[in-house]
Amino acid sequence: MKKTVTRLADGRELLYYDRRDDIVREAVDRRPLDAVSTASEIRHDPLLGDAVAIASHRQGRTYHPPADECPLCPSRDGRLSEIPDSDYDVVVFENRFPSLAGESGRCEVVCFTPDHDTSFAGLSEEQAALVLEAWTDRTADLAELPRIKQVFCFENRGAEIGVTLGHPHGQIYGYPFVTPRTALMQRSVAEYRAATGRNLFDDTVARELADPVRVVLEGDHWVAFVPYAAHWPYEVHLYPRRRVPDLRELDDAARTEFPQVYLELLKRFDRIFGTDDPPTPYIAAWHQAPFGDGGGFRRADFALHLEVFTIRRTSGKLKFLAGSESGMSVFINDVPPEAAAQRMREVATSR
C-alpha cells in the first residue's frame, strides 16, 4: 500500500491509498473554496450521562446530488470534486460538514472506489483489503491525537438509512469521549470478569459456535453470527477468532481472510429479500476499544468486531423505531434471530 497525503483548497487533509507503489498523486484542488467554518460542540446530558453533538452548520451539507454532480467521484472532464485526481483506489478526507471538529473530535469520509454505480459488495478482494488497510491506518493516526478517545469506522448504505450521497463510501469518527454503547460493553465485560474470571466476548463467541443455530458463516480466522438478543430484523456480528482490541492488532492471516468473509456477508445481505427489492439498506459498524484503561476496565479485554444490520424487516417494509425503542431504548424484534440466521445461510452465494 502507498499512502499520499495532500490538502484540499480549504485546508482539509486528504489521503490517497493506492495498491501500487509507483502511483504518483500530484493533482491540485483548483476549486475556489473558503476555509471550513464549523460550529460543532459537545453537550452532556446530566440525566442520561451521554453526549450530544450540536452541529448547526450541517444543515447546508450536500443532499442527494445527481450522479453527474457527485462530490465523491474523481475530478474529470472539467468537473471538480472533493477528489482532485482523475482516478483513485481509496481516498480518505476530512468531512466538509463534520459532526465533530476541533476539540470536539474529527470526522472523515472514506471513498471505497471511484465507481459511482457499485457498492462495497461489488469490490474485488484486493479493493476490500485496501479499505481495511485504510481503516487500520486511520485508526493508528487518530490514536496519536490526544483529544481522540475512540475511533469508529462505519458505512451507512441506502436512502432508507438516511444516506445523502449515493457513491460507495463510509465515514470515520474520532470521538473525544467513550461512546455510550461502548461504555455499556466495558461495564458488562468488567462485571463478568469480576464474577467469573473469564472474558465475556470470548464466552459469547464460544457459546454461538458450540450451538451454531445462529452462526451465519465461518472462516479459519473469522466467524459471523446473529446475536442471541438481536435488536434488528437482520443483524450479524463478525468477530476475528483471535481476540484483539482494535484493527491495528489483526494479524496477517486475519487480514488476508477478511475480504473473502466480509464480501460474502454483504452479498448475502443483498439476497435476503430477493431480486425484486432494491439493494438492502444497512449500517456496518466497527467496534474498537477506546484508548487507555480505566474504570475497572482493561483495554486488552475488549474484542474488535463488526456489526452489520438492516432496518428492512421484510420485502417492502422497514423497521421503524417507535415508542418503546425511541422512548425507552427497549427494542422489539419481529424476526427471531434463529430464523434470520437460517435465511442468511440459505442465501449463500456459493449455493
What are the catalytic residues? 169
In angstroms, rounded to a whole number, what is the distance separating the alpha carbons of residues 124 and 172?
22
In angstroms, rounded to a whole number, what is the distance separating the alpha carbons of residues 6 and 294?
36
End-to-end CA distance of the chain: 34
Sign (positive/negative) of CA torsion 264, 265, 267, 268? positive
> What three-state secondary structure class fits 43?
strand
- Name the β-bridge partners of 286: 306
In angstroms, rounded to a whole number, what is the distance separating the alpha carbons of residues 67 and 165?
9
What b/e readout covers 157-183, taking b as 16+ CB neighbours within 10 angstroms? Answer: bbeeeebebbbbbbbbbbbbbbbeebb
Sign (positive/negative) of CA torsion 333, 338, 343, 349? positive
Within 144-265, strands assigned E span: 150-157, 169-175, 215-218, 222-225, 234-240
In angstroms, rounded to a whole number, what is the distance separating the alpha carbons of residues 312 and 326?
17
Q: Which residue has the cell 468473509?
A: 261
Sign (positive/negative) of CA torsion 80, 83, 85, 87? negative
C-alpha cell at 193: 470478569
In angstroms, rounded to a whole number, what is the distance separating the alpha carbons of residues 77 and 91?
20
